[in-house]
A = this chain, B = another copy of it.
Amino acid sequence: MSSITRVRLKPPYLLLIGAETDPTFAKTAQGIVQWCPDKVAGQLRFEGSQVDLGVSDMSLTEAVEAGCGSLVLGVAPVGGAVPESWWEVIEQAARAGLDIVSGLHLRLRDRPGLAEVAEAAGAQLVDVRVPPAKLPVGNGKPRTGRRILTVGPDCAIGKKYTALALDHALREAGEKSTYRATGQTGIMIAGEGIPIDSVVADFISGAAELLSPDNDPDHFDVIEGQGSIFHPGYSGVALGLLHGSQPDGFVVCHDPLRKTVSGWPHYSLPPLAEVIEAHIRMGRRTSPDIRCVGVSVNTSKLPADERAAYLDKLAEETGLPCVDPLIDGCNGIVEHLLDTLGRSHSAH
């Protein structure tokens, strides 16, 4: 895959926390620390900061000395507007040659003068919400390697977390696996990816094809799903991603207590069986043997003593491994995957 066609980030990261950060918006930075601690050099906090990611505090000077590659804005400022104190640090970092990585809605190059400073220092301004410029139309041709896509009946139901946890579990099991990021947080964690919901409509499945290219026959790409084919706002993204990913299998993310689409209360969620059946029906257009390989359940709102029984019952109903990745990890799904698709030669 050429560098033209995907976002790529330069580790290690200095995570900008500042002082005006809304702790509820620090999820991206927390995800980076959780899933790729080896890419994190430290956090840059201002006096009075309410957020602590539990990594080393580091000044910009220390970060430069430590060989940091990027200053990462993985938090959102209170109220949305970036405070001047942040811009000062951003400009200093760019002047010192650090790439600036932003997941904010604003574009870094719209900040007057910043692009010039960065260019003079050889630093990149990376807006992870901005897709690569030259994407192809999907060609639908079969690819080598194994691909697993996380899907669901709604947004924000665990597709990113499940993909990260499944990739982690596959690698722990000695399998070759790569997490493929399709959203801003995932891209910051993976260090590369394509923000699939920001590409032009004609290129959704083409972008998905680029994201999970030909690979070793026993290599897994675990692709972060976006939206839902049932979503009244985002179904186009989800179907293009499903067709372009050509997944051998998909994992359905399920929240037993969610009854309606988040933010679309006039839409009820389809039953799990319908979610599975619809993805098979639509997905087999580009992946004839597509199957559901597991259910990832958010059991956090169930009483603690009912979780195991709930998962057991669901597993019986569906005939599939049902796990809560936060509690059980994804080993159950990994075992099922390897039983179904075969184990790699390198792992055994």
Contacts and interface: CB of A to CB of B under 8 A. Distances in A.
B233 A285 contact: no
B139 A232 contact: yes
B237 A229 contact: no
Given A239-B235, A282-B229, A196 B201 contact: yes
Interface residues of A, number: 36
A232 B282 contact: no
A202 B198 CA distance: 7
Contacts of A267: 140, 285
B233 A141 contact: no
Contacts of A199: 200-201
A230 interface: yes
A348 interface: no
Contacts of A6: none
A233 B241 CA distance: 10
A235 B205 contact: yes
Contacts of A230: 285
A42 B325 CA distance: 67
- Chain B CB within 10 A, most for which of A236, A237, A285: A236
- Chain B CB within 10 A, most for which of A198, A237, A278: A237
B201 A236 contact: yes
Interface in A90-139: 137-139
Interface in A195-240: 196-202, 204-206, 229-230, 232-240
A232 B201 contact: no
B205 A240 contact: no
A282 B241 CA distance: 16
A140 B236 contact: no
B239 A236 contact: yes
Contacts of A235: 205, 239-240, 243, 285
A198 B236 CA distance: 13
Contacts of A137: 233-234
28 contacts: A138-B233, A139-B232, A139-B233, A139-B264, A140-B232, A140-B233, A141-B266, A196-B201, A197-B201, A197-B202, A199-B200, A199-B201, A201-B204, A202-B233, A202-B234, A202-B237, A205-B232, A205-B236, A229-B239, A235-B239, A235-B243, A236-B237, A236-B238, A236-B241, A236-B243, A267-B285, A278-B281, A281-B281
Given A206-B233, A235-B243, 11 more contacts: A137-B234, A139-B233, A198-B200, A198-B202, A202-B234, A232-B285, A235-B240, A235-B285, A236-B236, A236-B239, A236-B240
